[in-house]
A and B are shown apart, each in its own frame.
Chain A
Amino acid sequence: MIDFEYVRASDVADAVRQSAASTGAKFIAGGTNLIDLMKEDVEKPRRLIDISRLPLKQVEETAEGGVKIGALVPNSDLAYHSLIERRYPVLASAILAGASAQLRNMASIGGNLLQRTRCYYFYDAATPCNKREPGSGCPAIEGLNRMHAILGASEHCIATHPSDMCVALAILEARVHVAGPDGERVIPFPDFHRLPGDMPQTDTNLQPHEIVTAVEIPPQGFAKNYTYLKIRDRLSYAFALVSVAAGLEIEDGTIKEARFALGGVAHKPWRNRAAEDLLRGQAANAGNFQQAADILLREAKGYSHNRFKIDLARRTIVRALTQAARGTPQIQSDKKVR
């Protein structure tokens, strides 16, 4: 780990100011991802701005009937918050599907949004990686790519976003509140993370020195018909090969509203509006779910070690939508997929 300077921010404006006044500064909150990457010499901040003491730890109801979550709420506190358990159980379930109890106690909501890929080459500073060192190449494309993207990748990067929570936030159509040198703004969830394109070093559309202050969720929570189904190499405490967050609104056997997003398959949580539109007004049955899955996966492209993920994703989508329709969500401590 390289030498760095440590400072604390007194408020959000001070954090932004301190960041703008220095080169190579990083904000630190829970630190679970950043400190790990610093130990691997992947992240080398010259200065750490500690924002962990800022008052961004509330979970509050909004005027429109949704909920606003402070960026520094620990992952575990959000997963077990009664409002979230009751109204947004898909979010609680997705959070509990990720990491370990210790990490969830430390990691912040804002940090979860900003965690970096777990691509083996990104993590190994001895290998080239366009995300870590732009222009150096992407060994994953021809190399070990079992966990890599099948959708939205580029010739420069096939990394995936590792978050479970973000997959649920995608179907809940969350909005990310940020503050920066030019004031505050709100970013719709689909515009927060970006695809790698020819700039894989940039994970999000945050501008320099901007800081995430809150995540807001609209009222629609799919509390009755939802699931978070995560498929991985190990039954617990592992990143997803494929995961699906699903939320349905069903009336008299007919789908009124359908949303589903995939994790572990792209540089950001992956939704496809055409696939969701197809389900609206249809019966909630496996045939229709299969068709929706086919639409979402139409452009999927596999690499040498991850082609299996295309079929796995298709089956996981159908199973997840079936679980959601039946009202029998995946229980994260139950290792059987039913």
Chain B
Amino acid sequence: MARSPGESLPAQGKLPVVLTINGKRAQLGVAPWTTLLDALRDHLDLTGTKKGCDHGQCGACTVLLNGRRINSCLTFAVMQDGAEITTVEGLAANGSLHPVQQAFIDHDAFQCGYCTSGQICSAVGLISEGRAKSAAEIRELMSGNICRCGAYPNIVAAIQQAMGKP
């Protein structure tokens, strides 16, 4: 449960944080400056979420926070106490890949793969936002995810498939 606003926190050092990650409750103690990204990777061994630039410019760290895509490198874990997080590890269900994951395979939408988990989480967020109708809108609304291998045409094609667009 989220703490109510203003409820006093224990003396600084390790702050207790409860997160629901991929449907599972996790309790951890973090320093105030531990980003959500570092909490996922270093405290919870969820290394699917990648650290690229660590400044919100590349999108490799994209996760879904309460269903919305965000850069996990630009928020502190303690600020998200009580939140629901979905990482790339939580997208597949009942042994089946998420349609976006399958579409990335079908369209060969990656080369080195480093940006891919961020691209996929961002695409899942994009589809649930429901704002992108055309390829141009997909490109614009995916501009927060950089792919230095340049797999962009295939990424757009994969997202179009997952959206059910021709």
Contact = CB atoms under 8 A, between A and B. Distances in A.
Interface of A: 1, 3-11, 14, 28, 31-32, 35-36, 38-39, 48, 50, 52-54, 76, 80, 99-103, 105-106, 236-237, 332-335
Interface in B69-96: 69-71, 74-76, 78-79
A101 B126 contact: yes
Given A101-B69, A333-B137, A334-B136, A32 B144 contact: no
Contacts of A31: 74-76, 79
Interface in B105-138: 122, 125-126, 129, 131, 134, 136-137
20 contacts: A3-B33, A6-B32, A6-B76, A10-B6, A31-B74, A35-B74, A48-B32, A48-B76, A52-B79, A53-B2, A53-B5, A101-B122, A102-B62, A103-B71, A106-B70, A106-B74, A332-B140, A333-B136, A333-B137, A334-B136
Interface stretch (B7-15, B20-28, B158-166): B7-15
B55 interface: yes
B5 A9 contact: yes
Contacts of A334: 136
Given A5-B12, A11-B5, A101 B76 contact: no
Interface residues of B, number: 42
Contacts of A28: 79
Contact of B5 (A38, A54, A76, A236): A54
Contacts of B142: 101
B56 A1 contact: no
Contacts of B144: 99-103, 237
A36 B74 contact: yes
B79 A100 contact: no
B75 A106 contact: yes
A24 B137 CA distance: 42
Contacts of A35: 35, 74-76
Nearest to A238: B143
A254 B131 CA distance: 36
B6 A14 contact: yes
Contact of B143 (A52, A76, A237): A237
